[in-house]
Structures are given as C-alpha cells and as structure tokens.
Amino acid sequence: MLRVELNQNDISKRELENHRDDLFSLKNSSAIDLNLLLDVWNPKLMYHLWTSTKPENLNNISSLCKKDISCYLNGFFKGYLWALKMNDASGHYTSGFFSGNKFWIGAIDQCREMQNEFTFNSPLGKQNQTTMNLNNLLPFAVDVFSINLEIHLFEFELINHSSQVTLGLCLPASCHTDDVIELLKFYIDNTSRDSNNDINNIHNNGGNKNITVNYVRNLSEGYSVWEDSTFHIILGFTTFILLFILLGTCYDIALRYKYLDKLNAQSKSDAPSDMNHRKNAEAEENCNTSISGDRMSTIAKLWAMKDHNGSINVHNVNSVPKPMSEALLSFSLLLNLSKVFNFDVGHDTLAPIHGLRFISMLWVILVHTCLLTNEISDNNLFRLKAERNFLYQTISNGNYSVDTFFFISGCLVAYLYFQIMSKNKLSEANITKGIIGKINQFIGMIVYRYFRLTPPYLLVIGIIQISTKWNHDHYMIPLTTLEYQTCEKYWWRNALYINTYFNMDERCMTWSWYLANDTQFYTFGIIILITGGSFFKIGVFIGGITLLASWIITAIITLKTDHIPTIENPFDHYESLYDKPWTRIGPYLIGMATGWYLHNIECKLKINKIILIIGWSLSIVTLLSIVYGLYGNNFGPISSAMYTALSHSGWAISIAWILISSVTSNGGIVGKILSWKYFYPLSRLTYCAYLIHPVLTRAIILRGESTLHLSQELIVSNI
C-alpha cells in the first residue's frame, strides 16, 4: 500500500495538529496570501495529501514514479539533505507576479549536479558508498522538468490577473512528463477552493485560482541532432564546402608560389627587355617589395599578391581550363578574405553606403537584442516604465533601420544597372536586344541574385530548424516562436521568398520578412528598369504610380484597423501594416530614383551653400521627428494614417539627401564618417550578420538558463 511506503507513523500527532491550527488561523484571516495562492508545488503539503489519499486516486501515475515520489516526500519530511536540495533546486513563486515575473525556474544546475553525484555514487560508480552517510545520498536519478502553467487569479474583483508561467521542478527521473502532469493536477485540484479536502481548502486562504498545466518538458530527453535528416544534410553540405575551401586555398597558394618563382627567375636575368620591364613592373605591383628568400618575407609577398594570373601566365591552358581554375579559386580562403577586408570601395557600391549599411545593421541588432531580453526578464512589465524614457524610442521605432536597407538596395540596383547599360556591356553581348533579349536580361538578373543570396539563407534556416528543436526540448525557458515546428514544414516558402503572405504562426525565421520583401521589390524594380531603359517615361510612371498607391493603401489599412502609432505598441497590426510589401515599397522606389540620379550626374554636383544648409537641416529634423516624434503625442485617425503612410518614404528621402551629399563631396563630417574605409569590411559582412545574429543572441540567452532583471539604466545603457 502507498501509505505503508510513506511510513506515515513517522508523522507525530502533535505536528499534524500544529499544521491544522496554522491553516485554520489563515482561513479566518481576511488577508490574501499570494505565497499560498500561487503555490503549485509544495513537498510538505504534498506529503500530507499523498498520505491521506486513496491509492486508486493515483492510478494514472506509473508505479515506478509513485515509488520514487513517495521516497522523495518521505525524505523531505524527515529532513534528509538530498530531499531538501531537490526542493531547493525546484522553482516556486517568490515575487513580482504582477510585474511580469513568469519564470519560476529554480536552480537548474543544482539539480543536474545532483544527478551527476548520483551517477558517481551509484553502485556502478567509482566511489564506495559504505563510507558515506546514506541519508545524504540521492536514492534515485533526477531530471529537470519545465512546466508551462496558465494561472488565472480572481478574488472578489480585487484580483483579476492571468499569466503564463514557466515552472522548473527537480523530480525523479522515473517520472515521465505525463506523470508530472498528473502529479501537478493532483496537487492543484486538492488545493483549490472546490476541493473537499479540509486541510487544503484552508490552505487556499480564501483565494480563488484557476491553474492549468499546458505541457511538461523533460529537459534530459527529446530531440537528438543525430536523428535529424536536416542535420545530416547540413553536415554533408558543410563538409563539402570545407573540402573545396581547402582545395581552393591550396590551389591558390600553389599558384602564388609558382608565380613568385617565375618572378624570382625573371629578376635574375641579365638580359633586360621590354617584356622583362613589364613583368618587373607587375612583380613590383603584386609584391610591393624586393624578392627575398626569407620565409616570412615570402609569406608576406604571397599574401600581398592581388592577382597571380593563375589561368593565364602560370597554367597551361590545355591542361586546366580557365573556368575550372576560376571556379576552384572562388573557394580560396586567401582570395575571399582579401576581398572582404579590402579597403577599396568596390565597383558595385558607393563609399557612403558602407557606413549607412553598417550603422543600420548595428541598429537592427540593438532592437532584436532588446526584444529578446524583454522576453526573458523577471519583470517583463517594466518595459511599460522604460517606454516613458525619451531614448527608448530608439528601440521602439527601430523598424526605420530596415527602410535604410530597402533604400540602399533600390539605389544600388538602379545605379549599377544604368552604369552597366551606359558602358554597353549588355548590348555588346547581344542579350538585351528585342523582347527575347529583355526576357533573358530579366531572368539572368533574377537567377544571379537568387543563387548569390539563397545558399547562406537556406543554411541558416537549417541551423534554425535544428537549434530551435534543441532549445525547445533541452532549455528551461520556452521559445516564444514556433520555429521548431514551422521551419520543417514551411521552409520552402522562405526559399521562394513568399513567407510574408502567410500568418505569423506559419512562418520560419520571423526576421526574414525583410529578405522576402527585398526580393519582391528587386523583381518589380528590374521590370521598371528594363522598361525604363527603352521607355524612360513609362518606367517613371510605373514607379510613381506604385509609390502613390503604396501611400494610399497604407493609409486605408491604418484607418480600417484603427491603428494608432504609439511607443507602447510599435508592432501593432504587424501582419497588416509592418511586413507587407505594399506598405514598405516606398523607400525602395526612392532608392531607385536616387541611384538613377547619381548615375545621371556621374556623382558630381555643386550645391549652393544656402541650399546645402536647408537640405541638411530638413533631413536631420525629418529623421529625428520620425523616430522621436511619437513621444508625448496622441495621434487621431487622420494624423495616424498620414504618419504611417508617409513616414517610411520621408525617412528614405532624408537618407537620399545624406547619400547624394556625401557621394558628391557635400557631406562634410557626416560624409567622411560614412565613407570611412574601415566600414568597408564590416559592411560586407552585414548580410550574414543579419541572417545569423538572432540565432546567436537566442542561443546565448537560453544557454544561460536564467532570467534578467530589467532596469531603466540597463535599457538606456544598451541604447
């Protein structure tokens, strides 16, 4: 019998009477004790419930779990150290429930350390148990369980509060998740107001609560990467890439050595000729140093080589075709690092864009980091207080950083397109003539972009699919998104860049909405450019009508949804206003117009000093007003519609002024900062940073398995 296992005779009659007296005195008090009201697991009270219940009431709990739970409760009542440590490692209500403290996770590491000690001290372990106090030894294996609870308090209209709480419990490993659910239901049912148990009805202290166990996770069980086919695919793909990186790098080094040997042989020649003079000049340009046999000098010269002409001067064309050589060299670590950390502006961009891109990326990371830290704080509602700080709008209005990216993308697409067309590179290749030529041009540009951006994108999606499954099954703090389910089902929508047309609960990689929109804008922008290349006015008309339509549609949606821009709800009506292409295309079109204008003036423009002052003043005032203008303002329907519809385009126009001024040497100190050469390498890394930074931030936060206490100083210091 269960009661016999618990050895109820160990409970003194006096202790039971004292406990009953305490509970009856609480019942007669009119005060509400939150410690009792929010009590969902108390081993001391559970002991009394367990000993007074009939065994048939516990049939839903497995026999092995019942045995170990009985041992645990008995050990706790007797004051055994191991049982006290188990309870100490378990979470419980402490404070801050009404401030948003939804994590009662306990001391997770302590429970895991107890399991390690059990493994070490078990009969199969190395330590001799006979020399130790058996009362201090854990008699069974333990696991950490994460329980998601829905708590709704209601008490004579004085309290009406609901919250989802994550509870961490250190329990016997013999208990399955279903057993833990039954244990908690048993405890909650017997400590609720509706319970017929006199002791536990008193324990509720006059309060009323409705607690539901949503789900339980055993953090020692669940997902294994080795059983996931996605992990095998990523592992194989990564191995393949690393192999080619190794081959490409070795091939590159071999070419550099061979080319260097050739230059050494030429330098020793006593018969100079025009050819020798040309090659000596080439050697000076590539190596920028005298040729020496010193090893460090040789390594420096090999690294300094910008071009070893591997497919022309070194190789026999008949043995290694040029395309094969170039393909293998594209994997070279040396060549790729030299391109990334090159301080040349690059033919595919404009110098100030590097600064704009990098600074905007920092802003995006700041916003995402703050949003993630809010989710794991033990005073989540403190955000309402932080929003009263003027600087907090830097975070709440951080979505305008994405408008800068849209603007940059549109600007570069148009600028490079017209630059190439003006040099007749496409025309000479006979790929732009006629309807077929235009179609080929369109397909070529789309395919080029797709295969340039999609491989790392899909790789990160695979990493997210694996990491979120692992995080969900093995970390205490639960994920707020469903990516551990949605990425496996809906990754193909991301691959087609159409994920923004589906509900949020069906999306993978939520921050990838930008890539979907940008790709759709790019596709539409190419149509405008190709059309405008032959019929300029028609292209301008299409772009202008689209911009006007975007403003009108955004205003209509704002009015229909009763959307009011506020600091408190920056992502209100997210799926209808925030991430839809028809509400965000404005900055992209303005960027395209800017790119065409810079090409048309050949990046040269003289601006009158008065116009320069007025332009800069209007630009700065507009940017600051858009980000910080909501502070202290209560917009009505019309002003809300105007702000929502025009603010993104207003932001892009201000950025356009800054870019044009900086490119044409009218930017002053701002232009110099944005064109700082050390931004160039950092700017080239922003795409991968955008893809991976939420994954890394989330991993760091969840790996800590602890909450963060927000303060105004902490939030402002992050800004």
- Mean pLDDT, to the nearest integer, of 395-400? 90
pLDDT at 711: 72
Q: How far is residue 623's CA from residue 179's CA, in Å, rounded to a whole number?
A: 57
Q: What is the pLDDT of residue 444?
A: 92
Q: In which band, very low, low, confident or very high, does the pLDDT at 344 lie, cut at 50, 70 and 90?
A: confident
* Gap between the Cα atoms of 551 and 641, Å rounded: 9
First to last CA, the chain: 62
Task: Give me the count of residues in the chain.
Answer: 719
More reliable by pLDDT, 533 or 648: 648
223: pLDDT confidence band, cut at 50, 70 and 90? confident
pLDDT tens profile 133-178: 556 788 999 999 999 998 887 654 555 567 889 999 999 999 999 9
Decide the pairing of beta strands 159-172 and 142-155: antiparallel
pLDDT at 3 over 70: no
| pLDDT attached to residue 300 | 58
Residue range 436-456: mean pLDDT, rounded: 92
Cα-flanking dihedrals φ and ψ of residue 289, to 5°? -165, 160
Q: Is the pLDDT of residue 314 over 60?
A: no
In 3-state terms, what secondary structure has residue 147? Answer: strand
Q: Is 152 helix (H, G, I), strand (E, B) or coil?
A: strand
Task: Please provide the average confidence, as pLDDT, over all residues in the chain.
Answer: 82
- At residue 242, the pLDDT reads 95
- Under the banding of pLDDT at 50, 70 and 90, the label for residue 221 is confident
Tell me the helices (H) and strands (E) count for the chain, helix number first. 31, 4
Report which of 687, 82, 11 is spatially closest to residue 360, judged by C-alpha positions. Answer: 687
pLDDT surpasses 90 at 516: yes
Give all strands (DSSP E) within 94-133, no chain letters: 103-104
Angle separating helix axes 43-52 and 177-190, nearest 10 degrees: 80
Q: What per-residue confidence (pLDDT) applies to 298?
A: 55
DSSP state of 709: -
The per-residue pLDDT for 118 is: 84
Q: What are the φ/ψ torsions at residue 436 (nearest 5 degrees)?
A: -60, -40
144 within 8 A of 219, measured Cβ to Cβ? yes
Q: What is the C-alpha to C-alpha distance for residues 280 and 271, in angstroms, rounded to an integer?
A: 13
In this structure, are residues 212 and 149 in contact, taking their beta carbons and an 8 Å threshold? yes
